[in-house]
Every structure is written in C-alpha cells, then in structure tokens.
C-alpha cells in the first residue's frame, strides 16, 4: 500500500486523479479516501483542483455521484429528529435566480401547515446575494446557529433559515470554494453532491428542487436543466429522501424587486397576502407539491389550497415573525416589519440614491432581461465576486412595469437603488437594453413552472409545458 503525505497507509491520490482523468470509475473506497483527504487537509490544493477538473471533464456515473454525496454528507454532523417528527421534516432548494426570494415566504408557510423546515441556505456568488444575504438585511438576524439551537427553533417555531456551520458537511465547504476557483461550478455530479449532501445532513423526509433554466440561469435551455434535474432526483431518492423537482423559467426577474433588502420587503408583502402574483404563485405551487410529497395533503392541489390559506389568514406571517425573533431580531423590529402597515425602511437600509429610467418608446413590454439587470446591480455592489466579500444590502432594482403591460414613451419602467452618486452611461445603456418593447399581438405570456418530476414512487402526470 502506498504512503500518504502524512506517512500513514493510504491511497496514492495521483493514481485516483489519473484514473478519473482518463475516464475511469472511482470506487466507493476511492471516493471515501478522497473526501477524507479533503476533510483532514492531507491533500494538496493542486490535487483537489486536479480531481475537480477531472470530474468536470469526464463526469461521474450515478453510483459514483451517490458515493460522493454520501461521503460528503457524513463528513460532519447529521441531524437526528424526534420520532414524532417522522414525515414532517421537509425542505426546498433552488439553483438560484434573479429576484428569487421564494424561500423567505415558503419556509414559514410550510411551518404554518405543520411541517418542520431546517433550511440550510447559502450566500450568493456573482450577480446578487443568496438567501442568507437577504435575511442579513434585517438588523440582528443571525444565520449562524449551533446544532442544538436549530433543533430548539424547529421545536418552537417550525422553521429556521441558517448557514452551514463548521459541523455541517465540512467537505462541501472546502470543495465549494475550490470549484469556484477552478471553474468547475457547472459540473452536474459536483452540483448534485454539493446540494444533496447538505440536504441529506438535514435528515429530510421530502425535498423539492427548483431547477432554473433560461437566460438568467446557469442552464440556458430546458434540456440541459433536465440533465441536472434527473441526477438530483435519482441520487436524492437513493439517499432515501423523497425527492422531486420542478423546472422553472428564469428569464425575467421573479417579482418586481431585485437586491437583498428590497427582496425582503417583497417577501414580507407576499406573507401579508399582497405582492406580485408570480412570486405568490411560485410559493403556492412549490409548497403544494412539498405538502403532497410529505403526505401532509392528499394531492398537490389540496396542498396549494393549504399554502394559500396560511398566506391569506396571517399564519405564515406569524411564523416568519417568530423565526426572526428566534434568530436574533429584536421583538420590536420583528413586530414592526410584520405589522400590516409599516415603513419597512425604518429597519431595512435604503440606498442613498434612486434613479428612474424611462421607456424610450411606446409599446408593450415583451421581455425584461433579468441577467442584464443583475449584472448591473452586481457592479453597484449587490453581489460578490469571491467568497467572504462584503455586499451592499441596499443596492437593488424595482420594476415599475410588468410583462405584457402597455407603456408610453417617457414613462418610468425601473427604479435603481444605489449608493454611488450616479449611474454610468454604460449602466444606463445596459439597463435600457434589458427592456424589450413591441407590438401587443407579439406578446406571449409564459408560465414559470414548466415541468414537475415527482419522486419515482409517486408517478404523477403533471407536465405543464
């Protein structure tokens, strides 16, 4: 047996890298040795990077991806829940999108329906912030909760949204940072293992994945998104998590707000039974599927009615307020934000400047390119380029016109919130380019959710595309 760098019997990692580089398969023992080396620090940075690139180039079969996911999952703490919670622990994961604040109203809505939602979320890279960044717009909100406190919050409230701690899937933290540095972020097996190792550590009964496709998504077309979806659903179910997925469009932003503090404001409006229809529809559809998948409702349609009811009667909002307080927000701030009538920006920081852009012509809004808007906001400070970089929670955009709406030349269609004195000519140009106007008869409305792939044990014909 070859010697590792620390002098203990082990695996020659160069041989494993070479085997994968040449298109060979890694055994479960090989993958276990690789993850142990990642976790212990016995592997060199260049060896980790080389293995990630080999996986990116040659891929993995389902058995390899499953083994990688299992080893990453058990590299740290795995939650164990009380027996009386059996069947109630659920979660949702999105591959990300412009204006995607769905988790903020969905987690408390599911809790209001009797579920336990231990949502381990991430921070954003590239254009705008992630779920944790949005919540940190709220003064006092603490995403860093120890394992025992997560359990207590679930017992008392029913939902929490936290970051990955030192104890949870430590191998993923190492690999995630290296994937960004080695341009291997878009590898299907690495994405699958990263997502599902964290969800597996949550001890879930049911998991719904929201896989985005479109101009503002990692995958630009439905077919490529379907490849990732099938990998996630297959591996998730083999981990004994009842796993299903929706494929949803990510071209125009979700809702009317993009940017961390603005998205919190819009999520609160949704929890108060208001806000844009497309955001509410996504929350209701995804929640309905999860309630059905976890046997909390007899059908997706029944589950949707349950989610709609708790959004309407205020139960989801009360859960959100309780979650805020349980995660460090003062009772005064939490109550104020969740009041029926409130000035959100007494507590959420507003940017120093707001600039409105006007439509350059008459016409119907045929399209709004979310990726262009997000790229401009990133340049203004709403997103980060590398892990650990600070972001400006107040930077964002409000859409003042909806898809399919007729607008006149000179009418404001977007409001940009920024701290720099003024937008550059290039930013003006790019933002104006993101708005597509045309003739009314050219407009074709499209649904957000294009397809639903149920867990294998629950074959349901639900294709919407």
Decide if 413 contacts 359 (C-beta within 8 A). yes
Residue in 172, 210, 251, 369 annotated catalytic:
172
**More confident call, 49 vs 217:** 49
For residue 433, indicate whether it is catalytic: no
| Partners of 257 in the β-ladder | 398
Tokens of 182: 């080695």
SS3 annotation, 363-382: EEEEEECHHHHHHHHHHHCC
- Fold match between domain 83-341+448-453 and domain 353-442: no
Question: What distance lies between CA 383 and its chain's CA centroid?
Answer: 14
Fold of 83-341+448-453: Pyrimidine Nucleoside Phosphorylase; Chain A, domain 2 (3.40.1030)
- Give the burial class of 48: count Cβ atoms within 10 A of its Cβ; 0-12 exposed, 13-18 middle, 19 or more buried: buried
For residue 172, indicate whether it is catalytic: yes
β-strand pairing of 90-94 with 206-213: parallel
Could you tell me which CATH number the domain at 13-59 has? 1.20.970.10
Residue in 198, 384, 417, 418 annotated catalytic:
198
Output the pTM of the full model. Answer: 0.91
Residue in 75, 121, 187, 194 annotated catalytic:
194
Residue in 92, 179, 256, 319 annotated catalytic:
179
The string of pLDDT tens digits covering residues 380-396 is 998 877 667 788 999 99
For residue 144, indicate whether it is catalytic: no
For residue 8, indicate whether it is catalytic: no
Q: Which helix (H) or strand (E) holds 223?
A: helix 222-238
The string of pLDDT tens digits covering residues 279-308 is 999 999 999 999 999 999 999 999 999 999
Q: Can you give the residue ranges of every domain in the chain? A: 13-59, 83-341+448-453, 353-442
Decide if 153 contacts 322 (C-beta within 8 A). no
The string of pLDDT tens digits covering residues 229-281 is 999 999 999 999 999 999 999 999 999 999 999 999 999 999 999 989 999 99
CATH class of domain segment(s) 353-442: alpha beta
Lowest mean pLDDT among 8-22, 25-39, 339-353, 364-378: 8-22
For residue 281, indicate whether it is catalytic: no
With pLDDT > 90 as the criterion, what percentage of the chain qualifies? 79
Residue in 93, 212, 393, 448 annotated catalytic:
93
The residue whose two tokens read 């620090």 is 41
């Amino acid at each position: 047996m070859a010697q590792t760098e620390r002098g203990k019997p082990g695996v020659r990692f160069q041989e494993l890298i070479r085997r994968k580089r040449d298109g060979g398969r890694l055994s479960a023992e090989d993958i276990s040795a690789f993850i142990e080396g990642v976790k212990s620090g016995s592997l060199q940075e260049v060896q980790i990077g080389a293995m990630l690139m080999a996986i990116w180039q040659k891929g993995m079969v389902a058995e390899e991806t499953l083994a990688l996911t299992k080893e990453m999952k058990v590299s740290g703490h795995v939650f164990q829940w009380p027996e009386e919670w059996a069947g109630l622990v659920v979660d949702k994961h999105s591959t990300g999108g412009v204006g995607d604040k769905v988790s903020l109203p969905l987690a408390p809505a599911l809790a209001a329906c009797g579920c336990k939602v231990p949502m381990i979320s991430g921070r954003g890279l590239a254009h705008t912030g992630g779920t944790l960044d949005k919540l940190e717009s709220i003064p006092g909100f603490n995403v860093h909760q120890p394992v025992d406190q997560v359990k207590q919050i679930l017992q008392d409230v029913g939902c929490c949204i936290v970051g990955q701690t030192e104890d949870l899937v430590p191998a993923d933290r190492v690999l995630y940072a290296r994937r960004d540095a080695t341009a291997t972020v878009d590898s299907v097996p690495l994405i699958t293992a990263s997502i599902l190792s964290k969800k597996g550590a949550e001890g879930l009964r049911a998991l719904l994945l929201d896989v985005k496709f479109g101009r503002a998504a990692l995958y630009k077309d439905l077919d490529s998104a379907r490849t990732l979806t099938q990998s996630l659903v297959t591996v998730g179910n083999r981990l004994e998590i009842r796993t299903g997925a929706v494929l949803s469009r990510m071209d125009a932003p979700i809702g009317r707000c993009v940017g961390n503090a603005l998205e919190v404001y819009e999520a609160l409006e949704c929890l108060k039974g208001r806000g844009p229809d497309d955001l509410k529809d996504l929350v209701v559809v995804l929640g309905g599927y999860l309630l059905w998948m976890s046997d909390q409702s007899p059908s997706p349609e029944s589950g949707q009615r349950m989610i709609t009811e708790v959004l309407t009667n205020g139960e989801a909002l009360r859960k959100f307020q309780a979650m805020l307080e349980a995660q460090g927000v003062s009772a005064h701030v939490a109550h104020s934000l969740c009041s029926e009538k409130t000035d959100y920006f007494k507590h959420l920081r507003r940017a120093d400047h707001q600039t409105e852009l006007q439509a350059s012509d008459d016409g119907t809004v045929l399209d709004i390119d979310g990726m262009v808007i997000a790229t401009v906001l990133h340049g203004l400070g709403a997103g980060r380029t590398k892990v650990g970089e600070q972001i400006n929670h107040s930077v964002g955009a409000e859409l003042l016109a909806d898809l399919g709406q007729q607008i006149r030349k000179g009418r404001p269609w977007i409001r940009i919130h920024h701290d720099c004195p003024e937008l550059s000519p290039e930013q003006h140009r790019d933002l104006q380019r993101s708005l597509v106007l045309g003739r009314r008869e050219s407009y074709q409305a499209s649904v957000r959710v294009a397809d639903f792939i149920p867990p294998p044990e629950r074959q349901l014909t639900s294709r919407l595309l």
